[in-house]
Amino acid sequence: MNLLFANDRPGEYPASYYAATRAELAPFPALQGEVQADVCVIGAGYTGLSAALHLAQAGRRVVVLEAHRVGFGASGRNGGQVGSGQRLDQAEMERIAGRDAAHRFWDLAQEAKALV
């Protein structure tokens, strides 16, 4: 048993602020037969949908597969905070990885936030 889904009713989003305030979205039909694509993205959460969108915008044929509903898993159950911090503070990152690498890592996190 997957504890993430233990209290959920099949095909329904868990009770939450997000589910109560969302626009109604009809379930997508199950995949039938074969589909040709350049890329298959597994999971229709934030990361999967963002990857699919960026790939499609770059001209790729993309198929997204989701076991439940769009945003059903962790993406539909958290506050979605976006930050640059890591489990270690910046000084500790510099000690472990070196100053230049730690700063590149920080800059990469800042650039990622700009995409959101």
Could you tell me how far CA 37 lies from the centroid of its own chain?
A: 20
What confidence score (pLDDT) does residue 112 get? 87
pLDDT band for position 81 (cuts 50, 70, 90)? confident
Please classify residue 44 by burial: count the beta carbons closer than 10 Å to its beta carbon, then call 0-12 exposed, 13-18 middle and 19+ buried: buried
Q: Where are the domains of the chain?
A: 1-28+36-79, 82-116
d(CA 10, CA 38): 31
Cβ atoms < 10 Å from Cβ of 72: 21
pLDDT band for position 60 (cuts 50, 70, 90)? very high
Tell me what the pLDDT averaged over the chain comes to. Answer: 86
Over residues 2-27, mean pLDDT:
76
For residue 77, pLDDT beyond 80: no
- HSE-CB for 55 with a 13 A CA cutoff: 16
